[in-house]
Chain A
């Protein structure tokens, strides 16, 4: 063995503490007279002695400990052991590893992006305030346009306060996660991502609603809704997670994709299983927009009533299957 060796205290293969030993004999134990002190109540006050023999080898000896010393692989109690590189012994609940200076470490891992790190869009200065402002303005506009009564200042104020509050709470939670996992809050980035997510929650149904109405699209639009919502959720969660974990983007996308597909399937479970609750209400898309939004021609009355023939078949089928 080398002149200098390192004693490493392991916790589940991770190095918890590392001690450089260059003068021998060296002692290990719980007592303060030792060269290496181990705070393990099952370790004796004076537990191990490491000394160099005349022919230069390093020997580890148990100095009469209460609970003994063990070789890890294969497990065996020992009184003394010649130290080799990477040798492991267990004392009490602690595992010790010995390595010399000549220990060969693994090759350096090559990073996926060998270019200079770019400034991510959400980290640009003022990204959070700008996105939040756009979101709040959109909510405010929506509130104004959908209120056909006398101006209601209370609900207008709520349209400002509610998105801001939600954004701050949401990004606060993600920031805490970032701080725990990566020691940086990234509050601005999380705030910008969160505000963008909130903006999508309002804009997506609005846009799809307008397109559905204007082009007279059919009932399959609900799948478009589902796909867009899931895609949007995936996008937002992906960026939040980029600031929380160090996982490779490819892997993150795969995992998120799987999770969202499962989530989407669960939300559609009852309609996929053909379950439908009884309801005596009339269920159709009530959207009405100004005349300029009608982009497809109106059908003649004849065609409309011919199209409704199919409804009869549909409800007849329902009546049969449930009775």
Chain B
């Protein structure tokens, strides 16, 4: 749903960022967003600001070595005299994963012919940030804001959307997204592919966030400046960095992050939700968004009520690999008309339906290995399967899938499915166990 703002060469059609969130009503009731003004009537402040700041923003180009040309682009901005610049991790992820195939360079406005090679110094994969550095010192750079501005503050997002040149976009600060698993600032303004890694600044030119993603319709998201500040401070300490060290840094950040989520989940009591004759795990933590529905199809001799919760967020590792996901769903299947054998084939068919998993490719993960058994949960027999796959580049991290179906009744039952992406095996098992034990029969 979220569109990351990396502009890949193969996806340069000017549409992606404008993708409306499926199912979302158009925001007719919120005319709060300032409509973009024609250039001629820009208030002096904005155009002065742009003049002052445009030299501090640059375009990042990821160069594929064999073709010698750019494979994707993003934005970056300078934050120190030593040539440090901030951008998004997803802009430079190719370099972290395939340093032998890709390099990065910066191109500044008006100096198209002078591309400056840069290296990746440090990354914060959880918050999608990276620090890159050029060798030459920089005279003109951004200051990071010391604190979050109040909601409604006029902000200016800068970057290079769709390779159209450096632009400035007005919008408003709308605070941190509530109940998010990974901190994000809600920015009401148009952010488009290619602006990834660009700064969003206050009218006095201090950075309050880094452009990261959009849901279309002026719904933009920024990485809060506090994470940027931490990363820049850490990056200044880094003397040498090699690509393999970066991969290890990413791995340890993922391990820390999953530990944080695990502790958060296990510390909270797991509320249950009534579904048919059963109790199932409900909204475990505020960062989970839950939805439910029962499709009404009078022709079908059965009903399926579904309930699902998901963090609705993930961590970008590479173009084809996401992690840091907690999601689960339940389906209460029942029928008054089907006999027990025909119900069993329905029950088997719904059990064979897997919710969409987490993106990954052969070079990221192994195949799943599963164990399926009859397990007694809360006094009722269930058919339970637990599957695990390991990350190839990040030892110690796994994806877990848990599937269970109750077997105590012959024409009704509840099936549940838990997906955990990017957890240590022990943590994943602990969460899965707590989750499974929340299942109960109400009769």
Contact = CB atoms under 8 A, between A and B. Distances in A.
Interface of A: 144-150, 216, 276, 278-292, 294, 296-301, 304-305, 307-308, 310-312, 314-316, 318-319, 322-323
B344 A298 contact: no
**10 nearest A-B pairs in the assembled complex, by CB-CB distance:** A148-B346, A298-B376, A278-B362, A284-B370, A318-B366, A315-B390, A290-B340, A319-B390, A298-B374, A288-B348
Contact of B375 (A301, A314, A316): A301
Contacts of B405: 288
23 contacts: A148-B335, A150-B300, A278-B362, A280-B357, A280-B368, A282-B403, A285-B372, A288-B344, A288-B347, A288-B383, A290-B410, A299-B375, A299-B376, A304-B371, A304-B375, A305-B429, A307-B371, A312-B425, A315-B368, A315-B389, A319-B366, A319-B390, A323-B393
Given A311-B371, A318-B369, 4 more contacts: A148-B301, A288-B405, A298-B381, A315-B366
Contacts of B317: none
Contact of A288 (B371, B375, B390, B407): B407
Contacts of A310: 371
Interface in B386-432: 386-393, 395, 398, 401, 403, 405, 407-410, 425, 429, 432
Contact of A145 (B341, B386, B398): B341
A278 B360 CA distance: 10
B427 to A, nearest CB: 12
Contacts of A276: 367
B351 A286 contact: yes
A318 B387 CA distance: 14
Contacts of B392: 319, 322-323
A294 B375 CA distance: 11
B166 interface: no
B255 interface: no
Contacts of A318: 366-367, 369, 390
Interface in B332-364: 335, 338, 340-349, 351-352, 354, 357, 360-362
A126 B437 CA distance: 58
Interface of B: 299-302, 335, 338, 340-349, 351-352, 354, 357, 360-362, 365-377, 381-393, 395, 398, 401, 403, 405, 407-410, 425, 429, 432-433, 436-437
A304 B335 CA distance: 30
Nearest to B359: A280
B370 A148 contact: no
Contacts of B398: 312, 315
Given A290-B341, A299-B375, A312-B398, A278 B367 contact: yes
A311 B370 contact: yes
B351 A308 contact: no
Contacts of B386: 304-305, 308, 311
Given A301-B437, A318-B369, A322-B392, A282 B401 contact: yes
Contacts of B377: 301
Contacts of A305: 386, 429, 432-433
Contact of B436 (A279, A288, A291, A301): A301
Q: Which of B340, B346, B372 has the most CB of A within 10 A?
A: B372
Nearest to B372: A284
Contacts of A150: 299-301
